[in-house]
Structure 1
Amino acid sequence: MITRVQKHLTQDLIPFWKGLRDNEYGGYYGYLGYDLELDKKAVKGCILNSRILWFFSNTYTLLKDESLLDEARHAYEFMKDYCIDKTYGGIYWSMTYDGKVYDSTKHTYNQAFAIYALSSYYEASGDKEALTLARNIYDVIENKCKDNIGYKEASNEKFEKADNDKLSENGVMADRTMNTLLHVLEAYTELYRVKHDIKVKEDLEQILTIFADKIYNPRLHRQEVFFDNDYNSIIDLHSYGHDIETSWLIDRTLELIDDNGELSEKIRPITKDLAEEIYKSAFDGHSLPYECEKGVVNESRSWWVQAETVVGFLNAYEKSDRKEEKYLDAAKSCLDFIFDHVVDTRKGSEWFYEVSKEGEPNPLHPIVEEWKCPYHNGRMCIEIIKRCR
């Protein structure tokens, strides 16, 4: 497993994303169509830039290849110089190809990914300015994107409430989402990992409590996804990919802040239940469908869901009391599905955005856009290498 994955990371994913570097205007190009036509004047999503920064920072930390640190620095400079609002603070939603503000929305989800990326870049480079920026955005979230019961979603550039259309779907407009909370947790975990701050740890503990008390549905063995302002679920939706992703991301947080403590005793049964339910009710033996809404399964196989499935089942195997082989077998089987069907072997590509249950690619989705990035698949490779070496 590890040899195949490391080869894919170093010979396929890394060269592909290096090839999207924009040396004229900074950052990385924002769109590559299914036809592999590159649009050099496409909008540059700040989430995409953050995830690229995270990817190159972490591959450098893993592989110690100086060219990767140079790529990370390139992404960092674009973020620092253009994406961060120097007047009101925080990071914008997207920029034009040449670094002008395209969408000035300040979304908590996007702030979280900037913290995630900047913390990793600080670890890779030792650049204290990056840590300062991460802490500044952390302060933005805590002071402007949070209320007495949890984290808010979308704001305008002055941090006045805006419609949450960017993270709402399935016909609802959510006041709060599981997805934003999950990635604030992920970002704060990374920030705490590189700079142990007691306040960040306390925030992580609060987030885990929200997950246990508000997000997790013990009767249905799943997370709820979209909520009104008071954390009442507003749609019957089982997001398979987010549940398997959450199962290992929360375990990672617990390892860092509360290994075998009281909080772990409360939370670990939940992450175990999430992984087990996905294995039992959603995994088909080879791959994972996208989601189930009102009892109807969306059978598409999204690139990111498959990547998280591999890591989630590998984590479930490691965390199970008797090293349950079914989880390891599931991780290996999904990895085979990825290499057989999701990896796009055409020259100048990487992974398809989406394939059918049978593995046929969907030509309506591009290879790169603001959400399609090296974060899930790159992280899958990094996690496998770290866990299996």
Structure 2
Amino acid sequence: MTKKIIFLALVMSFADLPAQRFDDGLIREFRKAAKEDLLDKWYPLAADNDDGGFYSEITYDFKIGDHQDKMIVTQSRHIWTNARAFLLYGEDKYLGYAEHGFRFLRDKMWDKGNGGFHNLVTKTGKPIPKPGEAKTAYGNAFAIYALAAYYKASRNEEALELAKKTFRWLEKHSHDPEYKGYFQHMEANGDRIARTADTPSAADTGYKDQNSTIHLLEAFTELYTVWPDELLRQRLEELLLLVRDTIVNDDNYMNLFFERDWTPVSFRDRSKETIEKHYYLDHVSFGHDVETAYLMLEASDALGRKDREKTLHTGKNMVDHALDNGWDSKSGGFYDGGYYFKGTNGITIVNPDKNWWSQAEGLNTLLIMDRHFPGDKRSYGEYFLKLWKYTGTYITDSRKGGWYEWGQDTRPETRKDPKGHIWKSTYHNFRALANCIRMLEE
């Protein structure tokens, strides 16, 4: 009986821990940030009622900008956000926005002749051929992500069928049956674009990469929850193990680009000038590491894998590495990138700026880690609160609403940069805020 009382007391103490640090006022802050300061600013403003889909460029003061080519990634992210907003709030307007975006994907961005989604189209939906990336695995992954979420919200069978069709198109044109994983760059007809002797050394053409891989993992996870197909399960497990056991290296961060056989692309033995020239291909991306810790766990849970603890601890090690090496101990926030230069001790921060999506993903993952490891010496909950304070001070715009692209502590000159463009919409920050609200309320 005594042991039972002690056990119950311990359980109750852990249950009480989040309530002591995360009160109702914090929940109200997150609710306001998600709805009034984000969703209400973007929608219905971003819905293009003339040509379909969503506007790409939104100015700093929330007006429609001049550059309105539409990319599959951004269009899909708007659909996903509104589908999830409908599931969270139950308001029909969000389902309407998601349906509006779905129609543009189906009618304008799907290649009816060759299959797959065009990467970039004009405002009206005319394909814009771009050498080297007419179609991408990354873009088609986000289409699957959006279509599966929209189906979950609407039960529109046409959306699910299009998601299945996209998965099968990737299986035919992008999947590597020999070394596993997916090729990123494809021609309009689906032919893989290989790297040649003429490919510029700083270009990513022909390489496999962590970014498309983690977002295929994310997309297949979303699709698997509504379509538990056996081949899809195999590919989802394949991606999870690739990320966890190959892309994440022994130093607890992800290599970024790879040869076809998953040999990492590295310039560490080259001159500093060469390393700087190839920064995009070879550096430590703290934001991606923190985000991937969450995506791996989400995939593992969807699959019901028995080795969940291994995945969880791999993610924890990645978060710990990012906190120990990529966290600004003075102002807070995650730096953009670092590098382990040969012959030096420790890491060098090579890009001290802080982008919005890394901070958003950090909020989500730090709260997850706090739930799993409430007594850890790093105190993930305290880092979470510090990051929320940093985000409120330097990332969110208290005057005009929305999120700046860069932290204003290091990039104040970007204050009037667009709030939205083809690489920035509402997906990272809304997902993080919605997940945090759910965890805080639980």
Same fold (TM over 0.5): yes
- What SS does the corresponding residue of 2:289 show, helix, strand or coil? helix
TM-superposed CA distance for 1:172, in Å, is 4.5
1:210-232 Cα offsets, whole Å, 9 max, x none, are 123320111x2211111122212
Query: What is residue 65 of structure 1 aligned with on the other side?
Result: 91
Amino acid paired to 1:27: G
Stretches of structure 1 lacking an aligned partner (at least 5 in a row): none
Query: What is residue 135 of structure 1 aligned with on the other side?
Result: 164
Query: What is residue 437 of structure 2 aligned with on the other side?
Result: 385
State the distance in 1 between where 2:62 and 2:42 align.
Answer: 13
State the distance in 2 between where 1:249 and 1:183 align.
Answer: 8
State the distance in 2 between where 1:43 and 1:24 align.
Answer: 14
- What SS does the corresponding residue of 1:151 show, helix, strand or coil? coil
TM-superposed CA distance for 1:88, in Å, is 1.0
Alignment of 1:218-233 (within 5 A): 218=250, 220-233=251-264
CA RMSD of aligned residues (A): 2.2
State the distance in 1 between where 2:417 and 2:189 align.
Answer: 33
Native 8 Å contact 2:30 2:437 kept in 1: yes
Native 8 Å contact 2:396 2:404 kept in 1: yes
Amino acid paired to 2:293: S
Moved more, 151-160 or 14-23: 14-23
Native 8 Å contact 2:72 2:140 kept in 1: no
Q: Does 1:15 align with 2:40?
A: yes
State the distance in 2 between where 1:14 and 1:265 align.
Answer: 35
Q: Does 1:250 align with 2:304?
A: no
Query: What is residue 109 of structure 1 aligned with on the other side?
Result: 138
Stretches of structure 2 lacking an aligned partner (at least 5 in a row): 1-25, 267-281, 342-347
1:46 to 64, 72, 76: 72
Moved more, 281-290 or 65-74: 281-290
Native 8 Å contact 2:136 2:185 kept in 1: yes
Amino acid paired to 1:137: T
TM-superposed CA distance for 1:361, in Å, is 5.2
Aligned length: 382
TM-superposed CA distance for 1:281, in Å, is 1.7
- Pick closer, same or farther for the CA change 1:197–1:41 going to 2, 3 Å: same
1:75 to 91, 97, 101: 101
1:327-362 Cα offsets, whole Å, 9 max, x none, are 011112111111111112343x51111125457352
1:206 to 238, 244, 257: 238
Query: What is residue 9 of structure 2 aligned with on the other side?
Result: none
State the distance in 2 between where 1:361 and 1:113 align.
Answer: 31
2:312 to 268, 272, 278: 268
State the distance in 2 between where 1:65 and 1:318 align.
Answer: 30
TM-superposed CA distance for 1:103, in Å, is 3.5
Query: What is residue 30 of structure 2 aligned with on the other side?
Result: 5
State the distance in 2 between where 1:240 and 1:361 align.
Answer: 23
State the distance in 2 between where 1:351 and 1:138 align.
Answer: 32
Native 8 Å contact 1:51 1:113 kept in 2: yes
Query: What is residue 304 of structure 1 aligned with on the other side?
Result: 357
Q: Which structure shows the higher strand fraction?
A: 1
1:173-196 Cα offsets, whole Å, 9 max, x none, are 251100110000000000011222
- Pick closer, same or farther for the CA change 1:361–1:308 going to 2, 3 Å: farther
Amino acid paired to 1:243: D
Native 8 Å contact 1:342 1:361 kept in 2: no
Q: Does 1:126 align with 2:155?
A: yes
- What SS does the corresponding residue of 1:383 show, helix, strand or coil? helix
Query: What is residue 86 of structure 1 aligned with on the other side?
Result: 112
- What SS does the corresponding residue of 1:146 show, helix, strand or coil? coil
Amino acid paired to 1:311: N
Native 8 Å contact 1:29 1:40 kept in 2: no
Moved more, 123-132 or 24-33: 24-33
TM-score, reference length from structure 1? 0.92
- Pick closer, same or farther for the CA change 1:60–1:170 going to 2, 3 Å: farther
Moved more, 148-157 or 51-60: 148-157
1:136-174 Cα offsets, whole Å, 9 max, x none, are 00111112101121210110110112378xxx9993425
- What SS does the corresponding residue of 1:292 show, helix, strand or coil? strand
Moved more, 53-62 or 277-286: 277-286
Identity of aligned residues (%): 27
- Pick closer, same or farther for the CA change 1:99–1:326 going to 2, 3 Å: same
- Pick closer, same or farther for the CA change 1:248–1:84 going to 2, 3 Å: same
- Pick closer, same or farther for the CA change 1:194–1:4 going to 2, 3 Å: same
Query: What is residue 158 of structure 1 aligned with on the other side?
Result: 189
TM-superposed CA distance for 1:55, in Å, is 0.3
- What SS does the corresponding residue of 1:90 show, helix, strand or coil? coil
Native 8 Å contact 1:342 1:359 kept in 2: no
- Pick closer, same or farther for the CA change 1:172–1:97 going to 2, 3 Å: closer
Native 8 Å contact 1:341 1:359 kept in 2: no
TM-superposed CA distance for 1:50, in Å, is 0.2
Amino acid paired to 2:431: R
1:26 to 49, 52, 55: 52
Amino acid paired to 1:208: L
1:282-323 Cα offsets, whole Å, 9 max, x none, are 122421001113434311110101101111111111222746
- Pick closer, same or farther for the CA change 1:386–1:59 going to 2, 3 Å: same
TM-superposed CA distance for 1:382, in Å, is 1.0
State the distance in 1 between where 2:376 and 2:160 align.
Answer: 38
Moved more, 99-108 or 141-150: 99-108
TM-superposed CA distance for 1:267, in Å, is 2.6
Larger Rg belongs to: 2
- What SS does the corresponding residue of 1:297 show, helix, strand or coil? strand
1:282 to 318, 326, 335: 326
- Pick closer, same or farther for the CA change 1:170–1:367 going to 2, 3 Å: farther
TM-score, reference length from structure 2? 0.81
- Pick closer, same or farther for the CA change 1:317–1:103 going to 2, 3 Å: farther
Native 8 Å contact 1:248 1:316 kept in 2: no
